[in-house]
Structure 1
Amino acid sequence: MGTKKLKLAPYHYFSKAEWSGLRADEPMTLDADDVKRLRALTDPISFTEAEEIYLPLSRLISLYVEATQQLHRASTKFLGADGRKVPYIIGVAGSVAVGKSTTSRILKALLSRWPSSPKVDLVTTDGFLFSNKRLDELQLAERKGFPESYDRGALIRFLSDIKSGKPDVKVPVYSHLVYDVIDGEFITIDRPDILIVEGLNILQPGELPKSGKPILFASDFLDFSIFIDADENDLTTWFMERFRRLRETAFADPKSFFHRFTKMSSEEAEAFGMWAWKEINLPNLRDNIQPTRSRADLVLTKGPSHAIERVALRKV
């Protein structure tokens, strides 16, 4: 009798229509104006997509949070420990220009409008980038956004403090206007029920020390992770579209780090934008971001129009 080869598939795959059907009776708590306000500069997400994709996702996360809380209660009962609230942490990863900010903001709005009115906070890992001065010292100025350009120790301490239930945890503030961490400026995260952490490399495991000493990675603190995926050609198009829009808007501010691009000819600006994509963002995507896709609990795959075409949910 022949041996049957097993086909292992770690994910359940859904079309948009199939995923939308998992909404069940979950009410939509956002309106079209909310979606328009929450979407990023060049992410044309519609109210319909928010309802078809993110509402079922909100329902799924509510079930996961409830199950995690039950597990926590069982653990504390067994240990005879106090029942201190442990925040549920969601990571959102993906390439530059793929739409992480829109996903994170819409998810935050939906989760915070659950009947229980949980406290939901959102942070980006940008605040944990080394300052431009430090990047220059480390000769990493042209590798900004790569894993080594972040203060990973500070990010781990932040996530550890959040998971420990520590109050008033500070997060450094990053300004996209000046393209740098603002010295001495912080936001405070105070014991949220749910924390969404958005970042290019939030699923990156990092390098193991040769000493064999146990270490922690940011992904170790995530209860649920989302990866937003898209074809490289589409990402290139979206990056350049965003670069052009920023050149017309935010870059026009004389305080902007990129204000000089408004003085360039269209041809010069286009050439620089494409250089930044090919020499910085694309290598980071291929070498560091894309390889972490298989570590995500949920993968949202976008088509050329920026709309999500397929959903993959990791089997439990």
Structure 2
Amino acid sequence: MLVDDAVALVPSIPGRRALLGLAGPPAAGKSTLARRLVSGVNHRLGAGTAAYVPMDGFHLANAQLDRLGLRGRKGAPETFDVDGYVALLRRLRGERGRAVYAPDFDRRLDEPVAAGLVVLPEARLVVTEGNYLADDGPGWTSVRDLLDDLWYVEVPRELRERRLLRRHVRGGRSERDARAFIATSERPNARRIERSRAFCSRVVSPGE
């Protein structure tokens, strides 16, 4: 079970914290798996041992995307604050004596929410997930250097795109607009992410 492997990453030395990353294309099930791993570790080792911090909180705000002319590319690497995400990972590695706050992402608002999450001092494992954790573009390679392990989450493309269609329609897009966004943004992003598989230690399925 993947939970067993996550438990094995938890440091036995007091004062240390491990970071597990989950990379993969949109709607592969990264957040579902991350929450399951955190829940499983906490069940085994005690509440608060593991915490979940998604990369999605580092989406640029829609106002910034509009300013940059990138609203139609939302979800591409350049639409994230990678430097802010790297700085957070460094804090999570280095700060154990105080709470670390992190941004979350509200899908209803389609916007990041400042300090929506907290990692408490007792957390010894942080599971983080996002599309570009294994990317080799500017800024993103620093992410890999800060992770103790990095897994690639994969499901069939047809399943992912059905999930994406439901997600975008629920978020307020018409079916036509949702399909167009998948074709022009989500699908090219997924192809780029798939090329980063080689930088991950293993390929996993959310159902494992």
TM-score between the two structures when normalised by the length of structure 2 = 0.87
1:12 maps to none
Is 1:145 aligned to residue 75 of structure 2?
yes
Counterpart of 2:128 in structure 1 is 197
Q: Is the 8 A contact 1:108 1:122 kept in 2?
A: yes
Shift of 1:142: 1.5
Q: Tell me the residue number matched to 2:164.
A: 239
Over residues 138-167 of structure 1, what are the superposed CA-to-partner deviations in whole Å (9 max), with x where a residue is unaligned? 221122111111111111111101101242
Corresponding residue of 1:169: 100
What SS does the corresponding residue of 1:274 show, helix, strand or coil? helix
SS at structure 2 position matched to 1:145? coil
Instruction: Give me the whole-angstrom Cα distance separating, in 2, the residues matched to 1:168 and 1:243.
Output: 34
Q: Is the 8 A contact 1:89 1:196 kept in 2?
A: yes
Residue type matched to 1:271 in 2? R
AA aligned opposite 1:189: V
**Does 1:99 find its partner at 2:3?**
no
Partner Cα distance (2:124, 2:189) in 1: 32
Q: Is the 8 A contact 1:205 1:218 kept in 2?
A: no
Larger radius of gyration: 1
Aligned residue pair count? 206
Distance between the aligned counterparts of 2:30 and 2:24, measured in 1? Answer: 7
The yes-or-no answer on 1:65 pairing with 2:10 is yes
Name 1:125's counterpart in structure 2.
55
Given that residues 53 and 117 in structure 2 are in contact (C-alpha distance below 8 angstroms), is that contact kept between their aligned partners in structure 1?
no
Q: Measured at CA, do residues 281 and 294 of structure 1 come closer, stay the same or move farther in structure 2, by a change above 3 Å?
A: same
Q: Is the 8 A contact 1:86 1:165 kept in 2?
A: no
- The residue aligned with 1:158 is 88
Structure 1, unaligned runs of 5 or more: 1-55, 74-83, 209-214, 252-257, 262-268, 309-316
Q: CA RMSD in A?
A: 2.4
- Relative to the length of structure 1, the TM-score reads 0.59
CA distance in 1, matches of 2:127, 2:45: 19
* Alignment-mate amino acid for residue 61 of structure 1: A
Q: Which has the higher contact order (CA 8 A, sep 6+)?
A: 2
The question of whether the paired residues in 2 share the 8 Å contact of 1:111 and 1:118 is answered with no
Contact 1:127 1:171 in 2 (8 A): yes
Q: Distance in 2 between matches of 1:121 and 1:65?
A: 11
Structure 1 runs of 4+ aligned residues shifted over 6 Å read none
Which residue of the other structure, out of 110, 135, 144, is the alignment partner of 2:65? 135
Question: Hey, what's the Cα distance between the residues in 2 that align with 1:181 and 1:241?
Answer: 21
Shift of 1:131: 1.0
Q: Given residue 270 of structure 1, which amino acid in structure 2 is its aligned partner?
A: E
